[in-house]
Every structure is written in structure tokens, then in C-alpha cells.
């Protein structure tokens, strides 16, 4: 394991050339408007009647880039937890996505939230997202739309995360970098760019990261690559094309019982009284190979009219060893969208913005189920694919959506209204077992209404009403195995779409420039009430899913960043949320067939998986005597929550302290830039429950639900950018 002393030496050597440089007094002008695109149009963040966070470049500058959790810690309403210290991250926005945790429900994926990279959807038609391609190492900007956004984006839009990998520097360069860290972590990265006509860009990004893992059986390897072209054909026409691919392999150590967690949180789940065969015995892992090409096109028609379109095609080859079965997935994913925009300026105090668009996504493919062969090996694995083909399933999904939005602006008042219609169809069939194929369609009309009053740059007030829809993911439509009649179909008859209504009010603003005291001050605050019908609940580690009749979430969020004396920058986020099942009764027969007809009511209980409180505070100090050198300290607190609907299994709250030292300097005038980063996570080496499985199995060996977080871990990165 790399030592703390090695990294201190590594950091100090990299920082020496900057020691004699002049003080840097540059900081962000608060009058600069932040334009967001996650609202499906270019719009000033202050004018949007939604909770939107644009993650500052200062935050992206100090992240390691192995997983999305480090970049999202300062976004209010968003809880991002690394499950094994790699790309497998549990993410929820205002409780949406909370159910995605467990043996069967969310290894390596998220749900309930839509993710985009360079305008291309990472989220599949059924609402699941894997993070294989999302390149956090070379992310140049990230926008997070925290308000319920189904009226714009469709299914599973409890939040929207949009990542851009397009370099923000408009000149040719070659950047090389590498890093080392605790538990065998290492990364190698390349980013290079050349310029095209009319400020166009052609760039290549390659990143390889790996770790031996802290826990037993948690090794991870990730290779990502992107070739991007941004071309401005003329003043009115722009297009972008991205070829992206990833190869992500990682082992899954499983969850621990409370006693196992106390005895040795580093162990994998290898107790035959809990799982037989165990996670180690069946060599639980995932191996994902993905390649995609996608293009976006924008054209200004003149007179306030404009059109845009997106198209993509993606191929996936996935292998799994899970639940004592070897699975080979072959999938293709295609889709696109088209949007018409009109901006009409009637006079100085009256204007109108109009949006009309459609989206389509289709994914299909086969899954081959084999037995595990513990005497064989494949690609260095402990087990291999057996020779017995147990099943050959087709699993497809089609997502169609059409939306309309109109915004009227009268002086400082903006009124937005719109709606969206979605239809999501599943196709499922078994080509071996005698279960008839079936299809099922979910559809919904979702409304939206918003009002913004722009009092000043310091204070903008908004209120909104937004609808939401989230259909069950494909694996959630598998029928419960404990009810014989349910095996007559390949789709779960118990589930209906999650339908939600969000009522929200908020405040946001940017301070004036008080030179010498406050360099800039940005803030946003929001309060929300979310009424949810048919919330989908995992049972027995996701062995089957049931719906809660009605539940609610009431919360408040606050996020801010302030620059003091041009040297200190304080970032903070705070989320408070109360949840409750209002109408929720479950038939015990779905857990134990002998208890069919015996019901249990969880009405009045808190919802599982959602903390009532989490907050992050980060303080950055830019050293006045050394240009480009900075130090950061971050404290993150997550409150306790329940892992079970009966509110008997508790996930303990935790506090984590991180620290970062960094330097950015020009070694050769206008030709060579050097960046050095030393990051220490969990400085106190606190033992904590980083994530939890919801409604887990109760076995003779105990209840396994705890995914322990990493102890103290240190990493260092050195990158050099040569300008051509």
C-alpha cells in the first residue's frame, strides 16, 4: 500500500516550481450568468422555476474521478454513497432512487434518476442507469436538476444529472496524467485536443483506473474512452458527435450482518448460514463492455425559431456471476429526440418561449442463463460458465414520449406551463421454459406549472408543481417466485408505475461583488412536498417487488458557496426530509406462501432507505504566497435511517472528514501546465455503514444488509498539459 510519506514527497516535488510565483487574485465575477441546458433549453439558472445545481469547477478540480460520489457531495437533496470504493455508487435525489440497493436490485446501477453524458442518455428505457461510460475524470461540467422533471424528460426523472466531457479550453493541447493510492488504486489518463474551424473541437479522452479493493473480493478495473467532435458549421448550425466506450469489471463482496460488520468490516459475505453458495464461493462479479456512437444537432432557423435533434446507437455485452447463475447479456440500445424551440419578443416587457419535442428509446436483446462451473475459469475468474443452458430470455423495452412547454415572461415574472405523455412497453419471453411471452404498457400524462419572480440578482423566488412517473425496471417486473399463479406470466402483475406530484417553493440568487470582503456569493434554498402513489418496494433483497399505496416526503434544502477575502471559499449543502408511508399494507403470503391472506400494515412508518438529514461543508483556502496552490477540508454528515419497512433495522449515521492539497501552475510560460492533487478520504478512519440493502433476508446467520465504507485512503495524481 502506498504510504502517506510517499504521497507527501510526490506532492511537494510537484509544487516546488510554484513557490516563487505571484499571488493570484482572480475569482469568479458574480455577475456572470450561469446558463443551464438540463432544462432542455439554454436558460439562466435564476430564471428557472426549478432547483438546479451547477457544480463549480473548483469542486470538479479536487475530485479523484473514480465514481460519482465525490462530485455530488455538495449538491443539496442528493445523497451519493460509494458501495465498494469504485464506480458502483448508490444515488438518490429527494428519495427517488432510494430503493436501488440490494443483492438483486441495484448492483452497479441506479434508478429513478436520469443521467446524460454529452447530451446522450445513459439511462435505459426502463429507468435503470449503469455508470460504466460516464467519465468523471475528464468531466468539464455537471448540472443537477433536483426538481421532479418527468414533464420534460419522461420516465424516471426524479432528478436529472447531465455531464459534459467537452474540454472548456479552446486551444490545442496534450494532457497526460497518472496517480497512485491506497489499496492498489492507480490511474492513467490521456486527454488531447485539436481545434477545427469556427472554434470547433476534436478531442480524445482515455482513462484507465483500477483498485485491488479494500474489502475481500472487491477488485475493480475500469477503462473508458471518448472521441468527441464539436463543429460549428456556421453561425446558425452546430453539431456534435461522440464515440464512447467502456470496459468495467468489478467484484461484489456482498453485504454483512451487524455482527460481521463489528467483527471485521473488511471481509466479504462468505458465511454459508447467510448465503449458500456464498459471494466468494460463486465469485460474484460483473463484466460490462459497452460502445456507443451519438450525435446532436442544433440549427437556428431565424426569427426566434430553432430545432435540435439527437440520435444514438449502443451495443452492450454483459457477463454476470450472480445468485449461483452465469448470465450472458447481449443488448442493443437505440434512440433519439427532436425539439422545436421558439422565442418571441413582443415588446420590452413581454416575451414568450415555446418548446415542443419527442423522445424515443428502444432496447432489446437476449439473456442466456447457465450453471456455474467451479472447476473452470474464465478471464481469470474463480468460476466459469457451465455447459447447462437453463434459460434463454428476451428482454425488451420501448419508451415513447412527447412534450410541450410554454413560458410567458412579463417584466420580472415568468410563468411556465406544460405537459408530457409517455408510453413505456416491456417485452418478455422465455425461449426454453414453457412460460408464454408477454408485453405490458405503462402510460401517463404528466403536467407541469411554474412561476418565477426575479426581484433582483440577490433574490429570485419561484414556485412549481411538477408531476412524475417511474415505471418498474425490467428486473422488477419478474414475478414473485413464492406464488404459483404468478409463474403463468413473465411480467409481475403486482406493479404499477410510481406516480408522484411535487409541490415546491424556492429562493436563489447571486450576490453583488463586494470587493475585499466577498468575491461572490451564490445560494439556493427550496422546500418541497412530494405525494407518491404506488412507490415500488424491494423485498427479500429484491427477490420480488410490491407497491405502497401512498407515501409522502416533506423536505427542505439549502446550498451555498461564498468567496471571502479572495482567499477562502466556503461551500455548504443541507438537506432535511421527513418521509412516511400513508397507506401501505403487504400480504405476508408474498414472503411466505403459508401466510397468504395475513396482512401487515406499515402505514405511519418512515420510508426505508432515506435519511432524515445529511449535510456537507467544505472550506477551501487558496494560498496567497503560492499561486495556484490550495488546501481543502470537508466534513460530511449523514443521519441514520431505516433499512426495513417495519422500521426495526437501523442504518447508523456517520461523519466523514476529507482533505485535499492541490496545486495548478504554469511551468513553461503559456506552454506547460502542471496539476498535482493529494486527496485523503476519511481522515479519522471512521468505521461506518456506507450503504444498505433494503428489506433484506432474515437468515440463520443473521440479517445481511451493511455495505461498509472505506477507512482512511489516500491518493495522489499528477497531470501535465502541453499547449501546442
Q: Give residue for cell 470496459.
A: 247
Neighbours of 408 (CB within 10 A): 16
pLDDT for residue 25: 33
Inform me whether the pLDDT recorded for 433 exceeds 90: no
pLDDT for residue 312: 98
Cell of 340: 422545436
pLDDT for residue 578: 97
- Collapsed DSSP state (helix, strand, coil) of residue 627: coil
Strand pairing partners for 610? none
Distance CA 185, CA 179 (A): 8
Residue 429 binned pLDDT confidence (cut-offs 50, 70, 90): confident
pLDDT for residue 706: 95
Is the peptide bond between 277 and the residue preceding it cis, with omega within 30 degrees of 0?
A: yes
pLDDT for residue 7: 41
* Longest CA span, the chain: 78
SS (H, E, C) 371-410: EEECCCCCCCCCCEEEEEEEEEEEEEEEEEEEEEEEEEEE
Contacts 24+ apart (CB under 8 A), 259-262: 259/702, 260/702, 260/704, 260/706, 261/689, 261/706, 261/708
Neighbours of 57 (CB within 10 A): 12
Cell of 584: 401501505
> What mean pLDDT is predicted for residues 467-493?
67
Q: What is the pLDDT of residues 234-279, one digit of tens each?
A: 989 999 999 999 999 999 999 999 999 999 999 999 999 998 889 9
pLDDT for residue 238: 94
Least confident segment among 142-151, 184-193, 575-584: 142-151
Inform me whether the pLDDT recorded for 656 exceeds 60: yes
pLDDT for residue 505: 97
pLDDT for residue 21: 36
Residue 228 binned pLDDT confidence (cut-offs 50, 70, 90): very high
- If one compares 534 and 379, the residue with the highest pLDDT of the two is 534
Which CATH architecture does the domain made up of 4-723 adopt? Beta Barrel (2.40)
Bridge pairing between strands 114-117 and 160-164: parallel
pLDDT for residue 5: 37
Inform me whether the pLDDT recorded for 174 exceeds 90: yes
Question: Model-level pTM?
Answer: 0.92
pLDDT for residue 484: 45
Residue 538 binned pLDDT confidence (cut-offs 50, 70, 90): confident
Q: What is the pLDDT of residues 69-89, one digit of tens each?
A: 999 999 999 999 888 888 888
Q: What's the chain's average pLDDT?
A: 87
Backbone torsion region of residue 60, taken as left when φ is above 0, otherwise alpha when ψ lies between -120 and 50, otherwise beta: alpha
Distance CA 50, CA 43 (A): 12
The closest alpha carbon to 113, from 141, 68, 145, 142, belongs to: 145
pLDDT for residue 216: 95
pLDDT for residue 106: 58
Distance CA 477, CA 490 (A): 8
Q: Do 332 and 291 meet the contact criterion of CB atoms below 8 Å apart?
A: no
Inform me whether the pLDDT recorded for 23 exceeds 50: no
pLDDT for residue 20: 35
Residues 6+ apart with CB under 8 A from 331: 315, 316, 318, 363, 364, 365
Cell of 448: 407541469
pLDDT for residue 597: 81
Inform me whether the pLDDT recorded for 555 exceeds 60: yes
Distance CA 385, CA 321 (A): 9
Residue 305 to residues 343, 350, 352, Cα–Cα distance (Å): 7, 17, 12
> What mean pLDDT is predicted for residues 152-169?
93
The end-to-end CA distance of the chain, in Å, is 37
pLDDT for residue 8: 38
Q: What is the pLDDT of residues 53-67, one digit of tens each?
A: 999 888 888 888 888
Distance CA 268, CA 260 (A): 9
Residue 26 binned pLDDT confidence (cut-offs 50, 70, 90): very low
Q: Do 593 and 482 meet the contact criterion of CB atoms below 8 Å apart?
A: yes
Residue 37 binned pLDDT confidence (cut-offs 50, 70, 90): low
Inform me whether the pLDDT recorded for 580 exceeds 80: yes
Inform me whether the pLDDT recorded for 161 exceeds 80: yes
Question: For residue 684, how many C-alpha atoms fall within 13 Å in the half-sphere facing its CB?
Answer: 11
Residue 322 binned pLDDT confidence (cut-offs 50, 70, 90): confident
The closest alpha carbon to 679, from 36, 19, 65, belongs to: 65
> What mean pLDDT is predicted for residues 585-596?
76
Give all strands (DSSP E) within 285-383, no chain letters.
285-302, 305-322, 325-347, 350-373
pLDDT for residue 628: 87
Question: For residue 470, how many C-alpha atoms fall within 13 Å in the half-sphere facing its CB?
Answer: 32
- If one compares 495 and 390, the residue with the highest pLDDT of the two is 390
The closest alpha carbon to 722, from 664, 663, 665, 668, belongs to: 668
Sign of CA dihedral 367, 373, 378, 383: positive
Q: Do 53 and 144 meet the contact criterion of CB atoms below 8 Å apart?
A: yes
Q: What is the pLDDT of residues 2-21, one digit of tens each?
A: 443 344 334 333 443 333 33
pLDDT for residue 490: 59
Cell of 404: 410541450
Distance CA 524, CA 506 (A): 7
Residue 479 binned pLDDT confidence (cut-offs 50, 70, 90): low
Q: Do 441 and 425 meet the contact criterion of CB atoms below 8 Å apart?
A: yes
Domain borders along the chain are 4-723
pLDDT for residue 667: 84
Helices (H) and strands (E) in the chain, counts: 5, 41
Q: Do 209 and 66 meet the contact criterion of CB atoms below 8 Å apart?
A: yes
The closest alpha carbon to 476, from 502, 446, 455, 497, belongs to: 497
Amino acid at each position: 500500500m502506498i504510504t502517506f510519506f510517499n504521497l507527501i514527497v510526490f506532492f511537494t516535488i510537484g509544487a516546488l516550481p510554484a513557490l516563487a510565483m505571484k499571488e493570484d487574485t482572480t475569482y469568479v465575477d458574480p455577475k456572470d450568468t450561469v446558463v443551464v441546458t438540463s432544462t432542455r433549453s439554454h436558460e439562466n439558472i435564476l430564471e428557472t422555476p426549478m432547483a438546479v445545481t451547477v457544480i463549480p469547477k473548483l469542486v470538479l478540480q479536487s475530485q479523484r474521478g473514480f465514481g460519482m460520489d465525490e462530485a455530488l457531495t455538495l449538491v443539496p437533496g442528493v445523497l451519493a454513497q460509494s458501495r465498494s470504493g469504485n464506480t458502483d455508487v448508490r444515488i438518490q435525489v429527494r428519495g427517488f432512487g432510494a430503493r436501488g440497493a440490494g443483492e438483486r436490485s441495484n448492483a452497479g446501477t441506479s434508478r429513478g434518476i436520469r443521467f446524460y453524458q454529452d447530451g446522450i442518455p445513459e439511462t435505459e428505457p426502463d429507468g435503470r442507469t449503469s455508470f460504466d461510460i460516464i467519465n468523471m475524470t475528464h468531466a468539464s461540467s455537471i448540472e443537477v436538476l433536483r426538481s421532479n422533471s418527468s414533464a420534460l424528460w419522461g420516465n424516471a426523472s426524479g432528478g436529472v444529472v447531465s455531464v459534459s466531457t467537452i474540454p472548456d479550453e479552446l486551444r490545442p493541447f496534450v494532457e497526460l496524467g497518472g496517480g497512485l493510492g491506497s489499496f492498489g488504486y492507480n490511474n492513467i489518463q490521456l486527454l488531447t485536443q485539436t481545434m477545427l474551424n469556427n472554434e470547433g473541437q476534436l478531442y480524445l479522452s482515455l482513462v484507465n483506473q483500477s483498485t485491488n479493493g479494500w474489502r475481500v473480493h472487491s477488485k475493480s478495473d475500469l477503462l473508458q474512452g471518448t472521441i468527441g467532435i464539436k463543429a460549428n458549421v456556421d453561425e446558425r448550425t452546430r453539431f456534435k458527435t461522440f464515440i464512447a466506450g467502456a470496459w468495467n469489471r468489478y467484484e461484489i463482496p456482498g453485504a454483512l450482518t451487524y455482527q460481521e460488520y463489528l467483527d471485521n468490516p473488511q471481509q466479504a459475505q462468505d458465511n454459508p448460514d447467510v448465503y449458500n453458495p456464498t459471494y466468494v464461493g460463486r465469485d460474484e462479479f460483473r463484466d460490462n463492455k459497452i460502445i456507443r456512437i451519438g450525435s446532436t444537432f442544433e440549427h437556428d432557423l431565424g426569427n426566434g425559431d430553432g430545432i435540435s435533434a439527437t440520435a444514438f446507437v449502443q451495443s452492450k455485452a454483459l457477463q454476470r456471476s450472480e445468485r449461483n447463475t452465469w448470465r450472458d447479456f447481449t443488448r442493443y440500445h437505440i434512440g433519439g429526440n427532436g425539439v422545436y424551440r421558439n422565442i418571441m419578443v413582443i415588446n420590452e416587457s413581454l416575451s414568450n418561449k415555446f418548446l415542443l419535442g419527442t423522445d424515443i428509446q428502444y432496447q432489446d436483446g437476449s439473456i442466456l442463463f447457465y450453471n456455474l462451473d467451479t472447476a473452470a475459469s474464465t478471464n481469470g475468474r474463480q468460476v466459469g460458465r457451465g455447459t447447462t443452458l437453463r434459460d434463454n430470455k428476451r428482454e425488451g423495452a420501448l419508451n415513447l414520449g412527447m412534450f410541450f412547454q410554454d413560458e410567458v415572461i412579463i417584466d420580472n415574472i415568468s410563468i411556465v406551463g406544460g405537459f408530457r405523455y409517455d408510453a413505456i412497453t416491456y417485452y418478455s419471453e422465455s425461449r426454453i421454459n414453457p412460460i408464454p411471452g408477454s408485453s405490458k404498457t405503462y402510460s401517463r400524462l404528466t403536467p407541469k406549472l411554474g412561476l418565477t419572480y426575479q426581484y433582483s440578482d440577490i433574490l429570485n423566488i419561484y414556485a412549481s408543481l411538477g408531476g412524475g412517473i417511474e415505471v418498474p425496471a425490467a428486473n422488477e417486473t419478474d414475478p414473485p417466485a413464492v406464488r404459483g399463479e404468478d409463474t403463468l406470466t413473465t411480467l409481475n402483475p403486482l406493479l404499477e408505475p410510481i406516480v408522484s406530484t411535487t409541490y415546491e417553493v424556492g429562493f436563489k440568487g447571486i450576490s453583488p461583488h463586494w470587493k475585499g470582503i466577498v468575491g461572490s456569493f451564490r445560494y439556493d434554498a427550496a422546500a418541497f412536498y412530494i405525494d407518491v402513489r404506488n412507490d415500488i418496494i424491494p423485498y427479500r433483497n429484491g427477490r420480488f417487488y410490491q407497491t405502497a399505496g401512498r407515501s409522502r416526503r416533506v423536505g427542505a434544502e439549502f446550498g451555498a458557496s461564498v468567496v471571502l477575502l479572495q482567499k477562502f471559499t466556503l461551500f455548504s449543502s443541507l438537506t432535511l426530509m421527513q418521509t412516511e408511508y400513508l397507506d401501505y399494507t403487504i400480504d405476508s403470503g408474498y414472503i411466505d406462501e403459508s401466510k397468504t391472506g395475513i396482512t401487515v400494515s406499515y402505514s405511519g412508518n418512515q420510508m426505508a432507505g432515506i435519511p432524515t438529514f445529511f449535510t456537507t461543508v467544505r472550506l477551501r483556502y487558496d494560498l496567497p504566497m503560492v499561486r495556484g496552490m490550495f488546501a481543502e477540508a470537508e466534513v460530511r454528515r449523514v443521519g441514520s435511517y431505516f433499512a426495513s419497512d417495519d422500521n426495526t433495522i437501523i442504518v447508523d449515521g456517520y461523519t466523514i472528514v476529507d482533505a485535499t492539497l492541490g496545486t495548478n501552475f504554469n511551468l513553461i510560460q503559456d506552454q506547460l501546465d502542471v496539476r498535482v492533487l493529494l486527496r485523503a478520504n476519511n481522515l479519522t478512519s471512521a468505521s461506518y455503514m456506507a450503504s444498505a440493502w433494503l428489506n433484506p433476508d432474515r437468515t440463520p446467520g443473521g440479517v445481511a444488509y451493511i455495505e461498509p465504507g472505506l477507512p482512511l485512503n489516500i491518493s495522489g495524481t499528477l497531470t501535465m498539459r502541453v499547449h501546442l
